[in-house]
Structure 1
Amino acid sequence: MTGGPLTGVRVIDLTHALAGPYTTMLLADLGADVLKVEPPRGDMARYAGPIPPGSDPAAYGGYFQSVNRGKRSVVLDLKTAEGAAALRALAADADVLVENFTNGVMDRLGLSYESLSAGNPRLVYAAVRGFGDARSGESPYLAWPAFDLVVQAMAGIMSITGTEDGTPIKVGPGIGDIYPGTMLALGISAALYEAQRSGRGQFVDIAMYDAVLALCERIVYQHSYTAAVPRPEGNRHPLLSPFDILPAADGWVAVAAPSDVRWRKLCELIDRPDLANDPALATNDRRVARREEIFDALAEWTRPRSKAEILDRLGGHVPVGAVRDAAEIAADPHVTARDMLVELDHPGTGRTFAVAGQPLKFSRTPARPKHRAPLLDEHGPTVRSRLTTSDMLAAE
């Protein structure tokens, strides 16, 4: 079996927490050799749970495993001259360096993009921060620290997520970290492709704020075109109907049939020709104006039926899906068929635990985790032994 599409790409990973490690996890899944450079105490995420009973005390929890699988680990103290020289030597032979330090930290350590690219002109240097890097635009929030919750609040997601009474609700997954991390992986891949032609790397910068704003693209054009300020609308869509979460006898189901053809098919399947033939509901715009009436009619049909019954009747005909929890997802044959739960060893337990698989599928170069997450400095002796004295001197 061949490696992933990024096999042969060497990545120096200086990231911690979630946004940056998610970026480099994607690169590792795609075949890149990702060397995680950690401070003496390690990435803070190592100490986050859940930590299974019997786990190696020097290991990590599920959080770290999920976003650091497939990487190697070396400890370098970048605050020391020796550590900085070692990092410079590693960067001189790398294709990519990724960091998510607070703005200005790498500059103060003498390891700025300009400094490292002078020693390796083809280096793609990538950074993800809450509000970006001054090289790309001097944000007034440049020095502000940021977390997922803060970015969700500032960039628009929470302004349109929540109940109709206006109480804002954050999105469950750490999307303020994960989506910027995903976008940065795309930017790195594009910069690598360009470097093949030009022979030159470049600085790739993403602000968490910018990425989440781009994710909220609908509120931008909606406000620009109509001057409206979009607000939370529960589980409904302001421009589409039906587009609802409906009650079932044993939970909830999502039904989305906003096109006129799908709407008529839905009416046929639930034995409501009166709805299909009502001119007042004939177009999506008219249905949006009468969303409450449509919700009540559909809920009348779904409420006494189980999720399985509803899916059996509507599945394959109109867009429908049950609201599922983690246990139900684990039992879903789609998830098995698509290899979307990957079992990885956990040191000290003699067991494997599942992490989310790689949604990118390739016909020739499969992308999936190569191995479990590394112990702190697990690969340090090998890495340091390969850094010769001449390498270190040249890097200083």
Structure 2
Amino acid sequence: MAEASKGILAGLRVLDFSRMLSGPYCTMMLADHGAEVIKIESPEGDTSRSNGPFRADDNDKMWAGYFVSLNRNKQSICLDLKTTEARLQIRSLVKSAHVLVENFRPGVMERLGLGYEALLEDNPALVYAAIRGFGDPRSGESPYAQWPSYDVVAQAMGGLMSMTGQGPGSPMKTGPGIGDIFTGMMMSFAIIAAVRHAERTGQGQFVDIGMYDAILSLCERLVYLYDMEGQIAEPAGNGHPLLAPFGIFPASDGWVSIGVVDDAFWRELARIMQRDDLLNDPRLATKTGRRRHAQDVNATVSDWTRCHSKATLGNLLGGRLPFGPVNDAADIFRDPHVTARGMIAELPHAEPGKAGWRVAANPIHFSKTPAVPLTAPPELGQDNDNLLRHVDRAGTDE
């Protein structure tokens, strides 16, 4: 049990040069399950430290919510990589690392003498993971390779915005930073796959994910619709281009989601609505028929749902067909599911005597090796003495 409490990734050492969201989300996934993640920060620190929001008792503006949420369970060392001493210290740390993660533009690490090929000389088994807006030239050089990119750019170019919005001609970004988060999540999988290969063969490798590419893979429907039907996927509002009723419907006190994927669910909904006319209408008996009459079907269901509260609709539909209320943060915090699944986590504060923070928990559960207890996000450079004390000024182990 003591071994299990260390997490399923115990013993994995990760050097994390990433900042903002995509890379830190990736390494958070690893740290939450026991990997030793060492943030390598510049003297200014991860950009997200200053992005806010800040709590009222944070007089020094050190603990932005953006940073706190993503950097629990990590250590921090502060190094100025423009100096020879710092670069030599990194080369020494690489010898004991299994993984390095960075999300700079192509060429940045090479100019510092810390590119993949250079570090491979220090550690042939190193898994070097690079998240870039448009990928790394090693895997295929994009014409946009040197363009800076953030979530909003990836969502735009990868097709997500073109499929999201109230209707044709109204592209819209999603609320969460999907361009960053989805890319980071994919990279965490890629890292573990590459580590497994390295453990088997002793050979590390360069792992490359472009944010544009990740979002395009997320928007897989866009590709097959264009290939099979010549159709350009457009914003469909709160509905679905292939299914009805499927989407968001009004309640008397908010909104609910209903997803009728197969004909049996449609028949069940018609019975709950007490609409024998819908149940017996041959035009609506199949998915194809309901797609053809989607506007009328969705309008009919909306007329029924808006007469009931979210709670009433939950009692009528919950467990009988795909249904859920549209929750805001207050709803989520009081939802018994969230409590039962432990999805709001408590982080201790890094400063003694201060109240901790609540953050979204890691959703992955292992029966034998649970996630490790959460620790506070690190102060900038708090682990310099501990992690660098065995590395002398020449960058070699003492």
Structure 1 residue aligned with 2:27, among 6, 24, 27?
A: 24
Where does the alignment leave 5 or more consecutive residues of structure 2 unmatched? none
Q: Greater shift after overlay, 22-31 or 343-352?
A: 343-352
Tell me the alpha carbon deviations over residues 81-135 of structure 1, each in whole angstroms, 9 at most, x when there is no partner: 0010011111111000001111100000011100101110010000001001011
Corresponding residue for 1:59?
A: 62
Shift of 1:295: 1.3
TM superposition score normalised by structure 2: 0.96
Identity among equivalent positions (%) equals: 49
Corresponding residue for 1:161?
A: 164
- Residue 384 of structure 2 is aligned to residue 354 of structure 1: no
Shift of 1:382: 1.1
Q: Tell me, in whole angstroms, the C-alpha distance in 2 between the residues paired with 1:48 and 1:393.
A: 36
Alignment check: 8 A CA contact 1:358 1:368 kept: no
Alignment check: 8 A CA contact 1:59 1:347 kept: no
Alignment check: 8 A CA contact 1:28 1:369 kept: no
Structure 2 residue aligned with 1:263, among 247, 263, 266?
A: 266
Structure 2 residue aligned with 1:10, among 4, 10, 13?
A: 13
Structure 2 residue aligned with 1:323, among 319, 323, 326?
A: 326
Corresponding residue for 1:286?
A: 289
Letter in 1 for 2:20: A
Q: What SS class does the counterpart of residue 346 from structure 1 fall into?
A: coil
Root-mean-square deviation (CA), in Å?
A: 1.4
Corresponding residue for 1:140?
A: 143
Tell me the alpha carbon deviations over residues 126-174 of structure 1, each in whole angstroms, 9 at most, x when there is no partner: 0001001011111111000001111111010010100114211101100
**Alignment size in residue pairs:** 394
Q: What SS class does the counterpart of residue 173 from structure 2 fall into?
A: coil
Tell me the alpha carbon deviations over residues 196-221 of structure 1, each in whole angstroms, 9 at most, x when there is no partner: 11111100010000000000001101
Shift of 1:387: 1.5
Where does the alignment leave 5 or more consecutive residues of structure 1 unmatched? none
Q: Tell me, in whole angstroms, the C-alpha distance in 1 between the residues paired with 2:372 and 2:272.
A: 40
Q: Tell me, in whole angstroms, the C-alpha distance in 1 between the residues paired with 2:397 and 2:313.
A: 68
Q: What SS class does the counterpart of residue 247 from structure 1 fall into?
A: strand
Q: Tell me, in whole angstroms, the C-alpha distance in 2 between the residues paired with 1:389 and 1:216.
A: 49
Shift of 1:369: 5.4
Structure 1 residue aligned with 2:108, among 98, 101, 105?
A: 105
- Residue 381 of structure 2 is aligned to residue 383 of structure 1: no
Corresponding residue for 2:239?
A: 236
Write out aligned runs for 1:203-352 (5 A): 203-348=206-351, 350-352=354-356
Q: 1:368 to 1:267 in 2, by over 3 A?
A: farther
Corresponding residue for 1:364?
A: 368
Shift of 1:28: 0.3
- Residue 198 of structure 2 is aligned to residue 195 of structure 1: yes
Corresponding residue for 2:76?
A: 73
Q: What SS class does the counterpart of residue 364 from structure 2 fall into?
A: coil
Moved over 4 A (4+): none
Corresponding residue for 1:174?
A: 177
TM superposition score normalised by structure 1: 0.97
Shift of 1:58: 6.8
